[in-house]
Structure 1
Amino acid sequence: MGFKLKEFLKAQLSAFLGGMTDLGIYSFCYKVLNFSAPFSNAISGALGAIVNFLINRYWSFNNQKTPIANQLWKFILVVIGSITLKSLGIYFFVDRLQWDGILSKLLVEVIVSLGFNFTLQKFWVFKK
């Protein structure tokens, strides 16, 4: 159950791919469709999460023995928490401090992804 560097790096690559999906959709929603930053984040976060779940289940944590439904409900709770934390962070930086929307998104992504998402996915969602 301990920490494995290879697994951590795989999870980070998965998070990066999910994050790139998320960022592309976020940018489109925020810059092209003119949705608010927090709403753009909610949409993009949900779609990026799908990419992240599939990569993590089949590659990063390589756990197909646990029924997908058992992992999925836990993953959904993590995603809801993650999107909430990210939306609050983006709201704080963009709407309160008037920071750039894309820079704020990137900063909040790193903080929440490393501190919240990885820990819960490794030790709860995809735990073997």
Structure 2
Amino acid sequence: MFKKKSIFTFLQAQVAAFLGGITDYGLMILLTEVFKLHFTFSILISGTVGAIINFSINRFWVFKNQSDYSSHINSQLFKFALVVLGSISLKSSGTLIFQKFFQIDYRIGRLITDLFVSYGFNYPLIKYWVFRVNKKPDVIESN
């Protein structure tokens, strides 16, 4: 059975992903349609901007995992950057595959790809690796 806190955390993470994602998607279209960059390059740039927004919201609101230790944030940033690199690679490749092999418009292919990448790749890694909280084991007192 799911705990209420887990469901709430999942929903908060979806809000963070949505805000980062809508920024990412809008910027991708702007860079592709107005500035005429190939969509794979637009995804690289827009994905980076969206990731910064997503990281900030996840760190300070969703997982509230913001210790004052600079090594802790450096570790989180490094892990998050690896997730973002994987995510951007998957999104670019998936969008390209939908466009080249299935003749699906890159905007639609990107939305389809995002669904799989967000739920199957980003969320699990962000929750269980980037912002994982190491809980101290309960100490059992003996008499």
Q: TM-score, normalised by structure 2?
A: 0.85
CA distance in 2, matches of 1:107, 1:27: 15
CA distance in 2, matches of 1:61, 1:23: 24
RMSD value, Cα: 1.3
Corresponding position of 2:91: 86
CA distance in 2, matches of 1:60, 1:39: 29
Counterpart pick for 2:26 among 24, 27, 32: 24
CA distance in 2, matches of 1:60, 1:26: 25
Aligned residue identity for 1:102: R
1:92-107 matches, cutoff 5 A: 92-107=97-112
Corresponding position of 2:136: none
Runs of 4+ in 1 over 6 A off after TM superposition: none
Between the two structures, name the one with larger relative contact order (CA 8 Å, sep ≥ 6).
Answer: 1
Counterpart pick for 2:121 among 106, 116, 123: 116
CA distance in 1, matches of 2:110, 2:84: 16
Q: TM-score, normalised by structure 1?
A: 0.94
Larger Rg: 2
Aligned residue identity for 1:9: L
1:3-82 matches, cutoff 5 A: 4-65=6-67, 67-82=72-87
Deviation, 1:94, is 1.4
Quick one: percent identity of the two aligned structures?
A: 46
Please state whether the residue corresponding to 1:127 is helix, strand or coil.
coil
CA distance in 2, matches of 1:101, 1:114: 20
Q: CA deviation digits over 1:62-119, x for unaligned, max 9?
A: 1012621110000000000000011100110113322111111111111100100000
CA distance in 2, matches of 1:96, 1:33: 25
Mean Cα displacement is larger for which, 13-22 or 100-109?
100-109
Which runs of 5 or more structure 2 residues have no equivalent in the other structure?
Answer: 134-143
Corresponding position of 2:139: none
Q: CA deviation digits over 1:15-44, x for unaligned, max 9?
A: 000001001100101111111121111111
